[in-house]
């Protein structure tokens, strides 16, 4: 059974009036009798909401929902997910995360993912869509013990393309810090206005580029050259795809696609291909 978390006020994370929401979601996935994974702990505060998890016989699926439908000025959000040894968790979102227009102020989200040896985490949210004049910072930290496995996806839309609004945000900060066995393996930092990325995208002939990163951290062998050859073969036809070996424990795959559906197709194929080496990716992906 999933444990009920404390009320917002009980942990001192409520926001002052008019200052946005100070929401949090704190999850721990742990093994239970019969080999199942359960949420041993779940504590949350608006705007976070958690759908009812379900066990598919291999992985525990859960969807993280923003009950306000998006991120607004003043929001300060925290997401923490822990996966214990012997547990397998897949976290997704039902729809794109939208950072709405902010006439004044900023919003931020801090994400922390902790995976013990023998634990599995797949984090695959829908893309982040920054709206015009938004100012949003997302800081992510991933800590994986030696022997833990992670497939982490991060996707970014250029804006509300269907409304002709691209690269129109005021400021976007995306940071990523990854440690494997207490050893740093990846550090990234993006901090720029939308206009700067618009110039870069136009220079490379991808004015409406959709971007994604797929990070794989595992001690399992990933040396099958055919696997990576098939992924690299998706490069071309208006899409860019590259694979880099990390200094320890995995690979990072970068994708640039001309539109959202093409990006979705690439990510689905990447997942299917990686499932040949990572059995937990064979879990079904139906909507909850």
User: Residues 186-222: pLDDT tens digits?
Assistant: 999 999 999 999 999 999 899 999 999 999 999 888 8
For residue 8, being part of any structural domain is answered with: no
Q: How far is CA 221 from CA 88, 124, 233, in A?
A: 19, 22, 21
Please report the pLDDT score of residue 2 as a whole number: 39
What is the distance between the alpha carbons of residues 171 and 128, in angstroms, rounded to a whole number? 14
For residue 98, being part of any structural domain is answered with: yes
Query: Residue 4's pLDDT band (boundaries 50, 70, 90)?
Result: very low
For residue 177, being part of any structural domain is answered with: yes
Structural domains counted in the chain: 1
Q: Give the number of other Cβ atoms within 10 Å of residue 53's Cβ.
A: 20
What is the distance between the alpha carbons of residues 169 and 159, in angstroms, rounded to a whole number? 8
212 and 153 Cβ atoms separated by less than 8 Å: yes
Query: Alpha carbon 172 to chain centroid distance?
Result: 16
Query: Alpha carbon 47 to chain centroid distance?
Result: 17
For residue 158, being part of any structural domain is answered with: yes
What is the distance between the alpha carbons of residues 128 and 112, in angstroms, rounded to a whole number? 17
Among residues 93, 111, 91, the alpha carbon closest in space to that of 39 is found at: 91
Q: Which three-class secondary structure state does DSSP give residue 75?
A: coil
Q: What is the percent of the chain where pLDDT is above 90?
A: 81
For residue 74, being part of any structural domain is answered with: yes
Give every CB contact of residue 82 below 8 A, 6+ residues apart in sequence.
27, 28, 29, 41, 114, 115, 116
Residue 282 scores a pLDDT above 60: yes
For residue 75, being part of any structural domain is answered with: yes
For residue 7, being part of any structural domain is answered with: no
Radius of gyration of the chain (CA): 19
Please report the pLDDT score of residue 185 as a whole number: 95
The pLDDT tens digits for 215-254 are 999 988 887 888 889 999 999 999 999 999 998 878 999 9
Domain housing 139: 20-282
Please report the pLDDT score of residue 17 as a whole number: 45
Please report the pLDDT score of residue 285 as a whole number: 76
Please report the pLDDT score of residue 222 as a whole number: 83
Q: Which three-class secondary structure state does DSSP give residue 33?
A: helix
Q: What is the percent of the chain where pLDDT is above 70?
A: 92
For residue 6, being part of any structural domain is answered with: no
> Could you write out the DSSP letters of every residue in 140-161?
EEEEE-TT-EEEEEEEE--EEG
Beta strands 128-130 and 97-99: pairing type?
A: parallel
The pLDDT tens digits for 27-77 are 999 999 999 999 999 999 989 999 999 999 999 999 999 888 799 999 999
The pLDDT tens digits for 139-169 are 999 999 999 999 999 999 999 999 999 999 9
């Amino acid at each position: 059974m999933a444990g009920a978390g404390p009320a917002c006020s009980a942990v001192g994370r409520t926001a002052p009036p008019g200052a946005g929401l100070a929401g949090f979601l704190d999850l721990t996935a742990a093994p239970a009798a019969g080999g199942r994974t359960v949420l041993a702990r779940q504590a949350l505060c608006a705007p976070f909401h958690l759908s009812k998890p379900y066990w598919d016989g291999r992985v525990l699926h859960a969807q993280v929902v923003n009950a306000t439908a998006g991120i607004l000025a003043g929001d300060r959000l925290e997401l923490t997910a822990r996966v214990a040894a012997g547990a397998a968790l897949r976290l997704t979102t039902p729809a794109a995360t939208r950072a709405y227009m902010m006439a004044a102020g900023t919003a931020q989200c801090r994400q922390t993912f902790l995976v013990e040896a023998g634990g599995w985490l797949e984090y695959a949210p829908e893309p982040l869509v920054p709206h015009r004049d938004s100012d949003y910072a997302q800081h992510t930290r991933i800590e994986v013990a030696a022997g833990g496995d992670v497939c982490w996806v991060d996707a970014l839309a250029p804006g509300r393309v269907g409304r002709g609004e691209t690269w129109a945000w005021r400021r976007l900060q995306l940071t990523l810090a990854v440690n494997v066995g207490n050893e740093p393996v990846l550090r990234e930092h993006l901090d720029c206005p939308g206009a700067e990325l618009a110039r870069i995208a136009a220079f490379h002939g991808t004015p409406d580029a959709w971007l994604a990163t797929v990070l794989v951290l595992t001690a399992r062998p990933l040396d099958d050259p055919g696997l990576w050859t098939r992924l690299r073969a998706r490069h071309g036809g208006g899409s860019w795809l590259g694979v880099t070996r990390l200094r320890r424990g995995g690979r990072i795959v970068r994708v640039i696609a001309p539109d959202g559906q093409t990006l979705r197709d690439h990510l689905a194929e990447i997942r299917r291909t990686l499932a040949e080496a990572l059995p937990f990716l064979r879990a079904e992906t139906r909507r909850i």
